[in-house]
Amino acid sequence: MATVDYRSLAGDILQGVGGESNIASATHCATRLRLKLRDDSKADQAAIEKLPGVITVMKAGGQFQVVIGNNVPSVYAELGKITKLTDDDAEAGDEPVSHGNLFNRFIDLIASIFSPVIWPLAAAGLLKAFLSMATQFGWLDPASQTNVILAATADAIFYFLPVFLAVTAAKRFKTNQFTSMAIAGALVYPSIVALAAQAEPVNFAGIPMVMMNYTSSVLPIIVAVWLQGYAERFLTRVLPSAIRNFTTPLLTLLVMVPLVLLTVGPVTTFAAQGLSAGINAAFTFAPWLAGAVMGGFWQVFVLFGLHWGLVPGMLNEISTQGYSLLMGPLLAAVLSQAAATLAVLFRTRNKARRAVAGPAALSGFLAGITEPAIYGVNLPLKKPFYFGIAGGVIGGAIAAAGGSGATAFVFPSLLGLPAFSQVGNFGLQLLGTGAAVVVAFTLTFFFGPREEAVAAAPDAGTPVPEAVSGAPASASSGPTTAAATAAGTVDIVAPVAGRAVALADVQDKVFASGAMGRGLGIIPADGHIYSPITGTIKAAMKTGHAFGIKSEDGVEVLVHIGIDTVQLQGRGFEAAVTRGQQVRAGDLLAVVDLALVAEAGHDTTTLVMVTNTAQLGSVDPVDGGTLAQGDTAITVRL
The residues annotated as belonging to the active site are 29, 560
Per-residue DSSP letter, 35: E
Q: Report how far residue 274's alpha carbon sits from residue 310's, in angstroms, rounded to the nearest whole number.
A: 10
Determine contact, residues 183/224, Cβ cutoff 8 Å: yes
Other beta carbons less than 10 A from residue 197's beta carbon: 9
Contacts of 160 (CB under 8 A, 6+ apart): 184, 188, 215
Positive or negative, the CA dihedral 37, 41, 43, 45 is: positive
Distances (CA, A) of 202 to 196, 211, 273: 9, 7, 18
Identify residue 42 by its one-letter amino acid code.
Answer: K
Identify residue 343 by its one-letter amino acid code.
Answer: A
Q: Report how far residue 305's alpha carbon sits from residue 300's, in angstroms, rounded to the nearest whole number.
A: 9
Backbone phi, psi, residue 18, to 5°:
100, 15
Looking only at the bridges linking them, the beta strands covering 202-204 and 207-209 are antiparallel
The residues facing 536 across adjacent strands are 550, 582
Q: Report how far residue 554's alpha carbon sits from residue 550's, in angstroms, rounded to the nearest whole number.
A: 6
Distances (CA, A) of 587 to 95, 158, 322, 331: 17, 41, 60, 42
Determine contact, residues 131/137, Cβ cutoff 8 Å: no
Other beta carbons less than 10 A from residue 472's beta carbon: 15
Q: State the distance between the two ends of the chain, measured CA to CA, in whole angstroms.
A: 19
